[in-house]
Structure 1
Amino acid sequence: MSAFAGLLDGPRARGAFLIRSILEPPWSLRIQDRAPLTLVAVVRGSAWIVPDRGAPGTGAASTTSGASAATAVPGTTAPRTSAATAGTGAIRLGDGDVAVVRGPAPYTVADDPATPPQAVVQPGGCATTPAGEDLCEALDLGVRTWGRSPDGPAVLVTGSYRSPGEIDRGLLAALPPLLVLSSGDLDSPLVPLLREEITKDAPGQEVVLDRLLDLLLVSVLRAWFARPGAEPPGWYRAQRDPVVGPALRLLHDNPAHPWTVASLAARSGASRAALARRFTELVGEPPMTYLTHRRLALAADLLREPGSTVEAVAGRVGYASPFALSTAFKRVYGASPRAYLSDPSPGGSA
């Protein structure tokens, strides 16, 4: 398994928040649900996404593919759109475009960047007025659908992962705060299919929607990394490096093996020093640090399987004992494996 395939194998939505929004202008939704990752697809009309530039991390480059973006977003080359969007980092989504927003920083989705928020989406998915009054019942339009009128010209489908544990942390770290893929670059039937399935109330429908959200995320990211002029992260480019590529594949194919830099170097046909230097330069961290993070990400996923124990998972990801896994897990994730299972949103980074 390649490093890229390994990361894309990570998304595992579990009871994801999915909603269809039918909106009439002027409309503006302030999103502060603290979701680690959210997909927003425009299935009719258009929308603007405005990052909260006062929040940590949102000043980083947002990336677009065929969408209209304000020049204030560092690293983009789209023409200036208007005085209203200058300096906001706002990005316009057209019919069929999909945005991926990395949390937990808040952001706004609106018909126009200048429209003040009329509703605030809170953790858990319920909406309130900016003053805190509940809007869930007032905006209810049926199964997983909300808005003020069923005939609104703008229709969005939104899916949010509720927990960081549902997505590989390496994948989260590789993504910009906001990326947009145009409909022309996403050759997939998944958005129309999700649009149709989101309003069904059939047995097991939550599982169907979870899997569709995972598939859509994988499809969007695969297309985003493959687009012309893409600037993928170092680990993605490193897969084709004659020295680092073989080492990455070894780590992903058999993460439980007792690897050392020396054994990786021998299997990769390079000296220990050359591999360590090249790996750190391209991937952004030393080989053994990368392996630790990979093992712990796998452990976090395996721990959620029914009947899993810390002891069994420790052996599957390369730790000699449950204690060794728990120590490493707590150092990186900020909580023991058992505490993580009860609340998979502690501090720590991988």
Structure 2
Amino acid sequence: MDALADLLDGPRARGAFVMRSLLDPPWSLRIADQAPLAMVVVTRGSAWIVPDDAEPTRLEAGAVAILRGPDAYTVADDPDTAPQAIVHPGQTTTTPDGELLCETWDLDVRSWGTNPDGATALLTGTYEVAGTVSERLLRALPPLAVLDGHEVDERLLGLLVDESGRDAPGQSALLDRLLDLLTIAALRAWFARERAPRWYHAYADPMVGQALRLLEHNPATDWTVADLAAAVGVSRAALARRFTDLVGEPPIAYLTEWRLARAADLLRGTDATVESIARQVGYGTAFSLGAAFKRRYGISPGAHRRGTSPINGDEQPIAEADVDTAG
């Protein structure tokens, strides 16, 4: 499994929030649900995504927006339209004054808004719980990624739209899987662009691509740059230089990040003991994994498993000690 396949294996919706919004202008929705990841598809009309700290982005019919949380943003018919509704954690919806809107704007099964035949129709799929999406995937994404309709299979979009309006036994599980498929398809399309992380394109390089796969498939190996270069069949200096140029960091620094990120996902996604996970990712003991994990993320493996604090990969750089002990 390469890093992209591993990242795309991350979305695992469990009771995800799927809703159709049917709206006539002027309309504006303030999204403050703190969800780690959301998908917004414009199925009719157009819309604007208005982040708090970036320029507004216009979405035409068919566009798919991938939004990385937990920061709030606004979706509106026009960037200047004041919010009429606020979506809070747990998908509770109120007016700006605090009046509940869940029943007032209810239109049909998984549908809400101001008019069933509204000029704008949006389909929103939200991963509400941290841990249902890989932290590494979230760290690899920008706050907002937008795809044109032709970049994502229209059959998936149509199926999710159709099924979102049905109420049948097992419907929640079906919608979870459809949302996962749409999310994976959209992420794959986005990662194929030039804006993808540097390591994505490094896989096409014969030298660096082979080195990346060796590291990712064998994180428990006690790698050194010399060992890795020998396995690839090049000199140590040549590998170190080209790997850093294409990936953006030296081989052992990348390995450290990969090991700790894998540990983070295994802690949330499996029942394996910390000791077992430590051995799987190349740390000899739970203690050594715990020390490196806390230096990198600021919390212990146990706290991460319990979900007491989200990991933010931008808060702390890789500590030098982590790099020194990784191999």
* Secondary structure of the corresponding residue to residue 324 of structure 1: helix
**CA RMSD, Structure 1 to Structure 2 (Å):** 2.3
Question: Cα offset for 1:110?
Answer: 0.8
Identity of aligned residues (%): 60
Change over 3 Å in CA distance of 1:162–1:251 after alignment to 2? farther
Question: Cα offset for 1:95?
Answer: 1.9
Q: Please tell me whether residue 265 in structure 1 is matched to residue 229 in structure 2.
A: yes
In the alignment, the residues of structure 2 paired with residue 148 and residue 196 of structure 1 have an alpha-carbon distance, to the nearest angstrom, of 20
Match of 1:247 in 2: 211
Higher relative contact order (CA 8 A, sep 6+): 1
User: Which of 66, 84, 90 is the equivalent residue of 1:100?
Assistant: 66
Matches within 5 A, 1:121-270: 121-226=87-192, 230-270=194-234
Consecutive unaligned residues in structure 1, runs of 5 or more: 59-88
Match of 1:32 in 2: 32
Q: Is the 8 A contact 1:50 1:91 kept in 2?
A: yes
In the alignment, the residues of structure 1 paired with residue 224 and residue 57 of structure 2 have an alpha-carbon distance, to the nearest angstrom, of 45
In the alignment, the residues of structure 2 paired with residue 204 and residue 332 of structure 1 have an alpha-carbon distance, to the nearest angstrom, of 41
Q: Is the 8 A contact 1:165 1:344 kept in 2?
A: no
Q: Is the 8 A contact 2:46 2:58 kept in 1?
A: yes
* Secondary structure of the corresponding residue to residue 338 of structure 1: helix
Match of 1:80 in 2: none
In the alignment, the residues of structure 1 paired with residue 89 and residue 311 of structure 2 have an alpha-carbon distance, to the nearest angstrom, of 17
The amino acid of 1:286's aligned partner reads P
The amino acid of 1:244's aligned partner reads V
* Secondary structure of the corresponding residue to residue 264 of structure 2: helix
Structure with the largest fraction of helix: 2
User: Which of 238, 243, 249 is the equivalent residue of 1:274?
Assistant: 238
Match of 1:116 in 2: 82
Runs of 4+ in structure 1 deviating by more than 6 angstroms, as ranges, are none
* Secondary structure of the corresponding residue to residue 22 of structure 1: strand
Which piece of structure 1 moves more, 230-239 or 157-166?
Answer: 157-166
Which piece of structure 1 moves more, 180-189 or 292-301?
Answer: 292-301
Alpha-carbon displacement from aligned partner over 1:88-115 (angstroms, at most 9, x marks no partner): x222222221011222222111112221
Q: Is the 8 A contact 2:268 2:305 kept in 1?
A: yes
* Secondary structure of the corresponding residue to residue 83 of structure 2: coil
Question: Cα offset for 1:18?
Answer: 2.1
With normalisation by structure 1, the TM-score equals 0.81
The amino acid of 2:120's aligned partner reads A
Change over 3 Å in CA distance of 1:176–1:305 after alignment to 2? closer
Change over 3 Å in CA distance of 1:291–1:36 after alignment to 2? same
Q: Please tell me whether residue 339 in structure 1 is matched to residue 303 in structure 2.
A: yes
Alpha-carbon displacement from aligned partner over 1:144-184 (angstroms, at most 9, x marks no partner): 32223323222111112224433333333332222211112
Q: Please tell me whether residue 50 in structure 1 is matched to residue 14 in structure 2.
A: no
Change over 3 Å in CA distance of 1:127–1:171 after alignment to 2? same
Alpha-carbon displacement from aligned partner over 1:38-61 (angstroms, at most 9, x marks no partner): 1101122221111212xxxx4xxx
In the alignment, the residues of structure 1 paired with residue 130 and residue 239 of structure 2 have an alpha-carbon distance, to the nearest angstrom, of 31
Matches within 5 A, 1:2-17: 2-17=2-17
In the alignment, the residues of structure 1 paired with residue 140 and residue 223 of structure 2 have an alpha-carbon distance, to the nearest angstrom, of 24
Q: Please tell me whether residue 328 in structure 1 is matched to residue 305 in structure 2.
A: no
Q: Is the 8 A contact 1:166 1:301 kept in 2?
A: no
In the alignment, the residues of structure 1 paired with residue 171 and residue 224 of structure 2 have an alpha-carbon distance, to the nearest angstrom, of 45
In the alignment, the residues of structure 2 paired with residue 298 and residue 14 of structure 1 have an alpha-carbon distance, to the nearest angstrom, of 21
Change over 3 Å in CA distance of 1:4–1:244 after alignment to 2? same
Consecutive unaligned residues in structure 2, runs of 5 or more: 315-327
Aligned pair count reads 314
Match of 1:79 in 2: none
With normalisation by structure 2, the TM-score equals 0.86
Question: Cα offset for 1:306?
Answer: 5.7
Alpha-carbon displacement from aligned partner over 1:189-234 (angstroms, at most 9, x marks no partner): 111111122233344433322222222122112223335xx34321
Question: Cα offset for 1:119?
Answer: 0.8
Question: Cα offset for 1:28?
Answer: 0.4
